Structure 1
């Protein structure tokens, strides 16, 4: 009899273990964070040297700019966007050429990816984090001439100051494409190597023309680190708006 009772108990427990569990209620409580919470002295002592080191690293002066740069300063091209695209062209070209034997033809980043401005004065490591807080990396995408045309059509339609370098786009007075050139040359039936971010290469910001690319070469170079290296290389950063993307008045 005891054996039967034990078997019955085990069967009940086993069936309960197999029974599906259902969420019946969720409870939450809001905890306000304010200066009324007592400081944990031991934890603060442990963290303090790391905080000081990070602050020293972030505030270290890398370069200088005499003028403030903001992405909303103009419609078609901006000094900060031009600086970012030119920096990619200058710093990433040697890496790509060393690995592939090729030079890329142009650079395109996205307007929305510029996450902060640069004030006049010292440029620090924090500056690079402010303008590029993401972990995006530089990639080089091989496009056909038709895909390059789709890239230009995107710029013409969007009419935003996406950072570009090596490419000139001219709109007529009505906002239609008048002409475009790659490094001063007319559009040709050939492959073009375009440096961009891994985010855009995957079709981010509706740049779908990258999705059909035949070849994508990663450089293992984060954009933020590239900008830091660029700032270290230059005593003074003084980019200007120019004629790389403009609209004619007449």
Structure 2
């Protein structure tokens, strides 16, 4: 025991202690003056080539550039419709209403070929698809919340008339009225379903299906399907949001 204690003390005494005596810093500009490490560039090249090939894949051709705009735009409508269609396919059941967070739409889409990379610019976040089953009363609360708090209401499958950021009337896309006691399936991002953008009331919804499907992938697959026709597309706002 004494030998072990002596050994421990000797080992501790042999350790070197370091103390900071000064520091300095320099600003390094990341520009053409920085020489790339050639071995690293060669190592990354196959991955970069594969990434470029994926991101540059043309999906569909638009005849004009699309930008988000309040209270409604062609971009808002086609994104919401894309989610409505693709969510129904992945969920395996018809979806009544789709919703996208207006603030989550981060870019427009160009005229000409729309690529996978363009869709990443529009929807850079890895938000997952969630389907909530809401009563008519809850659905109207949902729509009114985003009408009042977002710059624009980005929805598919529903048409609304509103004034002073309050919805006066809403009907489903097929003309059906929203009945308080009936239930409706609503496709949205996990961010919103988890109470994002102030939608805390959604946290209490138990009729929830987490679909293993990125919102971004839904948009990519929708545009790819549209592009198979081989004809340019001219998206238009269809008047689903009416300001009175």
Q: Shared topology, TM-score over 0.5?
A: yes
Distance (Å, rounded) in 1 between the aligned partners of 2:75 and 2:22: 48
Which residue of structure 2 lines up, in the alignment, with residue 20 of structure 1?
none
Match of 1:117, SS? Answer: coil
Deviation at 1:9, TM superposition (A): 8.1
1:29-68 paired onto structure 2 within 5 Å? 29-32=25-28, 33-68=30-65
Q: CA deviation at 1:36?
A: 2.4
Which residue pairs with 1:218 in the alignment? 210
The structure 2 residue matched to 1:241, chosen from 234, 237, 242, is 237
Partner SS state of residue 71, structure 2: coil
Q: 2:82 aligns with which of 84, 87, 109?
A: 87
Residue pairs, 1:169-208, within 5 angstroms? 169-172=160-163, 176-183=166-173, 184-188=175-179, 189-208=181-200
Which of residues 66, 70, 77 is equivalent to 2:72?
77
Contact 2:61–2:233 (8 Å) recurs in 1:
yes
Structure 1: stretches of 5+ with no match in the other structure: 15-23
Q: Which residue of 2 aligns with 1:141?
A: 132
8 A Cα contact 1:143 1:214, kept in partner = no
- Pairwise mapping of residues 153-168 of structure 1 onto structure 2 (< 5 A)? 153-158=144-149, 160-168=151-159
Is the CA contact (8 Å cut-off) linking 1:231 and 1:237 kept in structure 2?
A: no
Which of 218, 224, 237 is equivalent to 1:232? 224
Q: Is the 8 A contact 1:109 1:164 kept in 2?
A: yes
The answer to whether the 8 A contact 2:61-2:113 is kept is: yes
Distance 2:48 2:65 in 1: 28
Q: Deviations over 1:74-131 (max 9, x none)?
A: x21111111111001111212222xxxx422101111011011111110111111111
CA distances 1:181-201 after superposition (whole Å, capped 9, x unpaired): 123222211111100011110
Matches of residues 111-130 of structure 1 in structure 2 within 5 Å? 111-130=102-121
CA distance in 1, matches of 2:21, 2:83: 52
Q: Say if 1:168 and 1:180, in contact at 8 Å, map to a contact too.
A: yes
1:209 counterpart (172, 176, 201): 201
Q: Is the 8 A contact 2:75 2:235 kept in 1?
A: yes
Contact 1:150 1:209 survives alignment (8 Å): no
2:146 is the alignment partner of 1:151: no
